[in-house]
Amino acid sequence: MDSATFERPTGPSPAGPSLASTADNGLKIVVVGGFGVGKTTMVRSVSEIRPLNTEETMTRAGEGIDELADLDGLRRKTSTTVAFDFGRISLDKRSVLYLFGAPGQERFWFLWDRLFSGTLGAVVLVDTRRLADSWYAIDRLEHYGTPFIVACNDFGGPLHTEEQIREALDIASDVPMVECDARDRSSSKYVLITLVEHLHTLSARAEKNAQADKDAAASADATDPSPEGTP
């Protein structure tokens, strides 16, 4: 896929361009991951419209729930997503990618099941300093059979090899894994392009397997020695 199709259109509206009447193919993508891994930042960096955010200020009253003091490297985080983030990217004149950023805090995980409905695929955004926080996202995606890729957001933490991350998260070798900086538009675009290409590969593989099964069934019928009409 040509990355140029992700370029942000220009226009007089501060909220971004209106959806073209010719767009009739909407593709839903969800960005998931633990608390503070950069989901809101990624949606903001690539959306061609002003993103819809449901962030609320974190207060002392939520310290015992949000466990902010225990999250290494997140002491400066002052807000949190309480529902979801939403952005949009026009792939071409007829296809639009809708981005949903899922809330990361455990008390909002009940919203994930609804966000996954109708989802084409997902990006699991990972902070390598806190790999365990990605377990729930991967578990839910596998539960629903939703294809996904893994994107390791750069927080300047300890370096891990791809093999170490795959082993820690129990990720299959055929699941793409990329490094990214969610603040950078080009980097985030690359993540989404990788996901779309992965989905295309899975679709082509499924179509090929279905055709092989069909051909095998036809071959079996052609060589069946049973007389015509015999049950």
- pLDDT in the model for residue 136: 86
Answering whether pTM is above 0.75, one says: no
Determine which of 11-20, 26-35, 119-128 has the lowest per-residue pLDDT on average.
11-20
- pLDDT in the model for residue 9: 41
pLDDT surpassing 90 at residue 184? yes
pLDDT surpassing 70 at residue 16? no
pLDDT digits (tens, 9 = 90+) for 62-109: 444 444 434 455 445 444 444 468 888 887 777 888 898 887 566 555
Rounded to the nearest integer, the mean pLDDT of the chain is 75
CB neighbour list of residue 123: distance below 8 Å, 6 or more residues apart: 29, 30, 31, 32, 42, 148, 149, 150, 151, 191, 192, 195
